[in-house]
Structure 1
Amino acid sequence: MRLTQHIDLVGSGAAGFDLTDPLDCHVYLVRGSWGAALVDAGAGASAGLLARRLNTAAGPEGERHLLLTHGHADHAGGAAELAERVPDLDVRAGSPADEWIASGAEELLSVDRGKASGVYPADYAFAPCQAARPIADGERVDLGSGVVITAIATPGHADGHTCYLLDAPEGRALFSGDCVFSGGRISLQNLHDARVPEYAASLERLAALEIDMLLPGHHEISLARGGRHLASARDALTRGLLPESTT
């Protein structure tokens, strides 16, 4: 699904547009003249399709990146197979999620809680992606022709959660993972690394950004006036509240 000149939505599950496996988050493909990047990997069943899309977009000589917003299985479960199918794939995630993804630490990634709640089937397994390495707050990935992605550390939904700010000729987009959704909603879950003070600080930080598009990990996408969703989350915090949660 073409969103802009440089962004495609190539994966989306039941909490989205049903483009790929029901367990998948939104998976975005960003293209530049030097290469291409996927933002998130889905849960794993769609890895073959996503790998083909990335390989085609990057071309035979282009750079190939996988930028993970966090380690939950619907976002990172496909990373291992993507790393097998995509030559020289640069797999990145915020610390400490990169270590958990590399080792397949299901309890730290809350896969066990997902199985217990019925989100994931009982036989689901998170495949370790040994290629995963950390991405630092403020680190940039330049894909060429004015297409640049900057990592923004946004803990709260999960440790290591990272949003990605895209500057492109058609405007500025925020890939917000599970940090903030349309309407300023959030995803605050009863998990070991869900942290309210850190979440509030992350939302305040994002509200200071000037963006055109909000591209979250699930649900609706905003292709214009995206900053209004960040402002809505900030306004709830100003009133001493947390924004409405999607879960």
Structure 2
Amino acid sequence: MRLTQHVELVGSGAAGFDLTDPLDCHVYLVRGSRGAALVDAGAGVSAGLLARRMLAAAGPAGERHLLLTHGHADHAGGAAGLARSVEGLAVRAGAPASDWIASGDEEKLSVDRGKAAGVYPEGYAFPACPAVRPIADGERVDLGGGVALQAVATPGHADGHTCYLLDAPEGRALFSGDCVFTGGRISLQNLHDSRVPDYAASLERLAGLEVDMLLPGHHEISLARAGRHLRAARDVLRRGLLPGSTT
């Protein structure tokens, strides 16, 4: 699904547009003149399809990047399969989630809680992805042709949660993972690394960004005037409340 000149939605599950496996988050493909990047990896079943889309976009000699917003299985469970299928793939995630993804630590990644809640089937296993490396707040991935992604550390939904700010000729977009959704909604869950003070600080930080498009990990997408969604979350915080949760 082409969203802009440089961005496609190539994966999406039951909490989105049913393009791929029901467990998948939104998976975005970003193209530049010298390479391509996937933002998030889905839960794993769709890894082969996503790998083919990545290879076609990057070309035989292009850079290949996988940027994970966080370690929950619907976003990062496909990382190992993609790393096996895409030669030279640079897999990145915010610390400490990068360590948990590398080792496949299902307790730290809350896969056990997801199974208990019926989100993932009992037979689901999170495959370790030793190729993943940490990405630092502010680090840039330049894909060429005026297309670049910058990491924005946004803990709160989960430790190591990272949004990615895209600058492209057609405008600026925020890949927000599960940090913030349209209407200023959030995803606050009863998990070991879901932290309200960190979440509030992350939402305040994002509200200061000027963005045209909001491309979250699930649900609706905003392709114009997207800053209003970030400011909506901030305005609720400033009243001493938390924004409404999608979960």
TM-score after normalising by structure 2:
1.00
CA distance in 2, matches of 1:35, 1:133: 19
1:86 is matched with 86
CA distance in 2, matches of 1:109, 1:229: 28
The SS at the match of 2:91 is: strand
The SS at the match of 1:101 is: helix
The SS at the match of 1:115 is: helix
Q: Which amino acid aligns with 1:24?
A: D
Q: Does 1:218 align with 2:218?
A: yes
2:231 is matched with 231
CA distance in 2, matches of 1:196, 1:99: 23
For residues 126-147 of structure 1, what are the alpha-carbon distances to aligned partners after superposition, in whole Å with 9 as ceiling and x for unaligned?
0000000100000000000000
1:12-51 equivalences in 2 (<5 Å): 12-51=12-51
CA distance in 1, matches of 2:202, 2:48: 33
Q: Which amino acid aligns with 2:169?
A: P
CA distance in 1, matches of 2:54, 2:227: 28
Percent identity, aligned pairs only, is: 83
The SS at the match of 2:235 is: helix
The SS at the match of 1:8 is: strand
May I ask how many residue pairs the two structures share in their alignment? 247
CA distance in 1, matches of 2:243, 2:160: 21
TM-score after normalising by structure 1:
1.00
Q: Does 1:57 align with 2:39?
A: no
CA distance in 1, matches of 2:15, 2:174: 19
1:170 is matched with 170
CA distance in 2, matches of 1:69, 1:9: 15
For residues 180-201 of structure 1, what are the alpha-carbon distances to aligned partners after superposition, in whole Å with 9 as ceiling and x for unaligned?
0000000000000000000000
For residues 44-78 of structure 1, what are the alpha-carbon distances to aligned partners after superposition, in whole Å with 9 as ceiling and x for unaligned?
00000000000000000000000000000000000
CA distance in 2, matches of 1:42, 1:144: 25
CA distance in 1, matches of 2:16, 2:63: 28
Could you list the structure 1 runs, at least 4 aligned residues long, displaced by more than 6 angstroms after superposition: none
1:164-203 equivalences in 2 (<5 Å): 164-203=164-203
- How far 1:232 moved relative to its partner? 0.3
CA distance in 1, matches of 2:65, 2:20: 20
The SS at the match of 2:149 is: strand
- How far 1:40 moved relative to its partner? 0.0
Q: Which amino acid aligns with 1:201?
A: A
Segments of 5+ residues of structure 1 without an aligned counterpart are none
CA distance in 2, matches of 1:117, 1:154: 25
- How far 1:103 moved relative to its partner? 0.1
1:130 is matched with 130
CA distance in 2, matches of 1:226, 1:53: 27
For residues 132-185 of structure 1, what are the alpha-carbon distances to aligned partners after superposition, in whole Å with 9 as ceiling and x for unaligned?
010000000000000010000000000000000000000000000000000000
CA distance in 2, matches of 1:116, 1:233: 30
- How far 1:106 moved relative to its partner? 0.1
The SS at the match of 1:221 is: coil
Q: Which amino acid aligns with 2:93?
A: A
Segments of 5+ residues of structure 2 without an aligned counterpart are none
CA distance in 2, matches of 1:234, 1:224: 19
1:88-127 equivalences in 2 (<5 Å): 88-127=88-127
2:243 is matched with 243
1:4 is matched with 4
CA distance in 1, matches of 2:154, 2:34: 27
Q: Which amino acid aligns with 1:160?
A: G
CA distance in 1, matches of 2:13, 2:31: 22
2:66 is matched with 66
CA distance in 2, matches of 1:118, 1:231: 33
